[in-house]
Amino acid sequence: MQRHDLLIVGAGPVGLALALFLKDAGLDIILADTRTRNAAAEDPRILALSHGTRLSLEQLGVWKSLPATPIKTIHISQQGSFGRAVLQADDYEIPALGHVIPAGALADALRRKVDAAGIPVLDGTEVSHLAPGADDVIASLSGEHAGTRSVRLAACAEGGVSADTGDMLEHDYHQHALISQVSVSGGHRNTAFERFTSAGPAALLPCAQGFAVVHVVAADTADSLLELDDSTYLSRLQAIFGHRVSLTAVTDRLRYPLLLRYRKTPVGQRTVWLGNAAQTMHPVAGQGFNLALRDVHAFSEQLIEHDGDPGDATLLGDYGDTRSLDRLGTIRFTDSLVRLFSNDIAPLRHARGAGLFALDLCAPLRHFVAKRMMFGARAWP
């Protein structure tokens, strides 16, 4: 039986980033992914990356190759009510509050770095079972590299391994995200728009020459909206965002169901869960991948500093404890935004408008929100 220090389940951006953070740690690392070599590079989704995430990707040496569109301004408002808030990168003396990139482009850049580092990836290989013991984890593999492997630590990153699911909490928002690309008259001016409606939030993210759209709707209306012709659907989007932008065309319309699903603790016996294997969140405020990369960065630093058994229970427990504030704080922050803004109760609508008005006027409060979006609950780094 082949033996390794670390098995990373999932060769998407989260798993690949973990491998790169640890490439010089002296560990025998292997990744396994059920998909083919180029599948992750074909991911059609768009990612909103925080400033903190950019710093991590620079550290990994992939940032310069990415087709990133900077977000210099974030405009936050709610439909049918007063109050709005504007966040500006210039207020924090940084070039951008965040960046927008295609998820496939990020996966491709990270995979190229992993391949160049000589870290093996078992493509077309499913990790069907993990059996943790006192000294190792026995991983059962099927597919192109079928067999068993002994590893000292298993890191489930974006994988579908269902072992130890008793710690999982789940809430269905009964919402779907309609994603698309839109063209705009006059350019996007590096401005992102977050618009709250009674059905859910809608966002325009500057991407290349136009906008990437994330339009959250009630699950029972998603089908009818997808069936609209492009012109009619574009009119629906224009009505949501009003006079702020002039949208001219829409393409690449897709749909994803939305739910909150997370583990109360992301560690187990010789096992750690990262990325979507640890938490799947609503896309409002774009925190999912940014939180995942903060987790990966922190975990890799602890592994490097530990310089011993990577599956040590004390090490894993310390990681779970140190990441609890940022991880659970970000999950609750995102969930609270969804619950607060996805309704049309008049008193709440007026209170939300007043809150946005106060956010715009109160510099310390605005600074707190901006720093949290850029660096997480601990204003990391």
Lowest mean pLDDT among 33-42, 86-95, 226-235, 273-282: 86-95
| Nearest in space to 286 (alpha carbons), one of 198, 372, 176 | 372
Question: 217 with 163, same domain?
Answer: no
Segment 174-189 shows an average pLDDT of: 95
Domain limits for position 145: 2-43+103-168+261-332
Q: Which residue has the tokens 């779970």?
A: 320
Mean model confidence pLDDT for the chain: 87
Question: 202 with 269, same domain?
Answer: no
Q: Give the pLDDT of residue 380.
A: 38
CB 232 within 8 A of CB 115: no
Contacts of 125 (CB under 8 A, 6+ apart): 32, 33, 34, 141, 142, 143, 144, 145, 146
Lowest mean pLDDT among 36-40, 100-104, 228-232, 345-349: 345-349
CB 44 within 8 A of CB 254: yes
Question: Which parts of 94-229 fold into alpha helices (H)?
Answer: 103-116, 219-227
Question: 84 with 120, same domain?
Answer: no
Residue 350 has pLDDT above 60, yes or no: no
Overall number of domains in the chain: 2
Q: Give the pLDDT of residue 337.
A: 78
In a domain, 121, yes or no: yes
List, for residues 260-319, the tens digit of each pLDDT value.
999 999 999 999 999 999 999 988 877 889 999 999 999 999 999 988 899 999 999 999
| Nearest in space to 239 (alpha carbons), one of 206, 199, 209, 205 | 199
Question: 13 with 109, same domain?
Answer: yes
Q: Give the pLDDT of residue 357.
A: 42
| Token digits of residue 296 | 């990966």
Counting beta carbons within 10 angstroms of the beta carbon of residue 227, is it exposed (0 to 12), middle (13 to 18) or buried (19 or more)? exposed
Residue 237 has pLDDT above 50, yes or no: yes
Question: 156 with 38, same domain?
Answer: yes
Residue 183 has pLDDT above 90, yes or no: yes
Contacts of 381 (CB under 8 A, 6+ apart): 52, 55, 375
CATH code for the domain in which residue 142 is found: 3.50.50.60
Q: Give the pLDDT of residue 84.
A: 76
Q: Give the pLDDT of residue 158.
A: 75
Residue 59 has pLDDT above 60, yes or no: yes
Question: 77 with 187, same domain?
Answer: yes
* Cα separation, 303 vs 298, whole angstroms: 9
Question: 252 with 278, same domain?
Answer: no
Residue 65 has pLDDT above 90, yes or no: yes
CATH code for the domain in which residue 192 is found: 3.30.9.10
Counting beta carbons within 10 angstroms of the beta carbon of residue 93, is it exposed (0 to 12), middle (13 to 18) or buried (19 or more)? exposed
